[in-house]
Amino acid sequence: MTDNRLKSHLADLPFDRRTLMLGTTAGLTAVAAGGLTMLTSQPAMASPQINKPAPDFTAVDSNGKTQRLAELRGKIVALEWTNHDCPYVRKHYNAGNMQALQRQAADAGVVWLSVISSPPGEQGNVTPQKANELTQSRKASPAAILLDPKGQMGRAYDARTTPQMFLINAEGILVYMGGIDSIPSTRADDLEKATPYFRDALAAVTKGEPVKNAVTRPYGCAVKYTTS
């Protein structure tokens, strides 16, 4: 497909075109069955795998505390890649859906970590103070907000979009990765119609049950990684 035809096709898809990387050698956009898969420029590395140990990480949170996955062994951990300026993220926060999931997780003893991998100068990058202000203003309740401006954690998890969700069981095994739900749109009225993939996964894992749809297609704004 030529570049012009690709751009024309993308214009018809329900994605904010400002979030897409078009006409560059560093960014590839591939149309997949049922929607769009965005491949951003990242160094080649092993992708995380379901039912395998989750990639370890060490990251500093918005309060200056170092968070390590190894120290969370014995607890279920939810990872939410986020970008407050992304319209797909705003859909879930403005409608209260993300906050409801965070409360559900907290009530079940799950450690919810929001991750910001946006580098300086890119959409979504925030100071620690701004990250905390956003949490308070949106009445969000993650256990911590991890700041990953160099993209080390994001690359380890092959995080491509915001929002993108991961779930790690108490043994440190990755049991879910993918989209928050099944409808890739910015419309809040789609929430009731969508299959709530992550909500279902969270409920299953907290009950000690297998996740029915362990890998799903993420959607949203592309994570822009630093090249330095």
Q: What are the domain boundaries of the chain?
A: 46-222
| H helix runs in 39-151, sequence order | 87-94, 97-107, 128-137
Please state, rounded to an integer, the average pLDDT across all residues of the chain. 85
3-state secondary structure of 160: coil
197-206 and 97-107 helices cross at what angle (nearest 10)?
A: 10
> pLDDT tens for residues 49-65?
999 999 999 999 999 99
- What is the pLDDT at residue 141? 97
- Going by pLDDT thresholds of 50, 70 and 90, the confidence category of residue 226 is confident
Which H or E run contains 7?
helix 3-11
- Whether 6 has a pLDDT exceeding 70, the answer reads no
Q: Give the Å distances, CA to CA, from 223 to 51, 60, 68, 82, 140.
A: 25, 19, 22, 9, 21
- What is the pLDDT at residue 163? 98
> pLDDT tens for residues 181-223?
999 999 999 999 999 999 999 999 999 999 999 999 999 999 9
Domain 46-222 is found in CATH 3.40.30.10? yes
Provide the edge-to-edge strand list for the sheet that holds 174-178.
66-68, 58-61, 144-147, 111-116, 77-81, 164-168, 174-178
